[in-house]
Amino acid sequence: MRFAVTAGRKGSGDLLNAAKEWATYFNVPYIERASKGSLEELRQQNNLDAILVATADGPQIYNNEGTFFYHPGMAVLRLQRLKNNEHDHFAQALELREGMRVLDGTLGLAGDAAIASYLVGEKGKVVGVEASILLHFVVENGLRSHEAEDPDLTNALRRITTVQATAEEYLETCEADSFDVVYFDPMFRYPVQGSSAMEPLRPVAYEKPLNQRTIELALKAAPKIVIKERSEKILREYGCTEILGGRYSRIKFGIIRR
């Protein structure tokens, strides 16, 4: 993927310096913004797939589908529902409780990881692995800096440890029984039509499907795997022997136990 770094046109000196540091870190070009012209024009002129933009609100990813910036999204509402003792299928499938060690092998926007972090608490551990270098960069920054209205959510975000790698690469380094459960959400295998909020992520996302080698490594690292999918057929192909999900929900959770 071809990308470069720039800063907002009215960016401060600190933002300009941050953008240049990011360009050096990723070993990609830093492009000065002209006084006129859109990000799309800048992208096309430089034949780029995406642009990483330094803004006062943190790093943002721009591409031909739009702009993405970090936000906890549905984790805000889900946390409130948990506090109201409402059901959460994700929490049920992973059997989350205080002190558990959880590996999210497809961190994405970290919404599920945030819920896991809240439920396992300070005595637990949540590690999130993300293969996309740009998505990992933006989400990691958000987890470190986002201030939610609910301090419990803010604390949960701060406790998440992130790793930039494929799940297979990371699991290769894990010792046996490093975690209590490993979770996968291969969210881009089949796109949800009309999900405009997700479209800016598609060009920068890691789209390779979950493979058998990764599942085998996950079963070494933890006694239980949970996979989120919309197709029960796909979950059965992965080897899931238990399927959970709401009666009227398109989303299902498949479980594989060692």
Q: How far apart are CA 43 and CA 62, in angstroms?
A: 9
Determine contact, residues 182/225, Cβ cutoff 8 Å: yes
pLDDT of res. 193: 52
Task: For residue 241, give the CATH number of its domain.
Answer: 3.40.50.150
Q: Which of 43, 67, 91 is a domain's end point?
A: 67
Instruction: Tell which residue, 57, 46, 25, 7, has the closest CA to residue 134.
Output: 25
Residue positions counted in the chain: 258
Amino acid of residue 243: I
What pLDDT, on a 0 to 100 scale, did the predictor assign at position 256? 98
Q: Which two tokens stand for residue 254?
A: 């498949």
Q: What is the tally of structural domains in the chain? A: 2
The tokens 């999210």 sit on which residue? 104
Task: State the DSSP string of 100-159.
Answer: -EEEESS-TTSHHHHHHHHHHTTTSEEEEEE--HHHHHHHHHHHHH---SSHHHHHHHHH
Quick one: 104 exposed, middle or buried, by C-beta within 10 A (0-12, 13-18, 19+)? buried
- 169 and 150 together in one domain: yes
Q: Are residues 44 and 133 in the same domain?
A: no
pLDDT value at residue 192? 52
Owning domain of residue 139 = 75-257
Contact 153, 113 (CB under 8 A): no
The whole-angstrom separation of Cα 136 and Cα 75 is 18
CA–CA dist 25, 20 (Å, integer): 9
Query: Residue ranges of the alpha helices (H) in 222-254?
Result: 232-238
Are both 101 and 34 inside the same structural domain? no
Same domain flag for 131 and 93: yes
Do 95 and 63 belong together in one domain?
no
If asked whether residues 81 and 48 sit together in one domain, one would say no
Do 170 and 44 sit in the same domain of this protein? no
Per-residue model confidence (pLDDT) at position 187:
62
Instruction: Count, in order, helices (H) and strands (E) of the chain.
Output: 10, 11
Run of H or E including 52: strand 50-55
- Domain match, 120 and 203 both: yes
Residue ranges, the chain, pLDDT below 70: 187-200, 203, 246
- pLDDT, residue 200, reads 66
Q: What pTM does this model have?
A: 0.92
Last residue of a domain, one of 67, 96, 115: 67
- Specify the pLDDT at position 199: 65
Q: Are 11 and 54 in contact (CB under 8 A)?
A: yes
Q: Which residue, 146, 131, 127, is CA-closest to 59?
A: 146
> Which domain CATH number covers 63?
3.40.50.10480
Mark 194-213 as b/e (b = at least 16 C-beta within 10 Å). eeeebbbbebbbbeeebeee
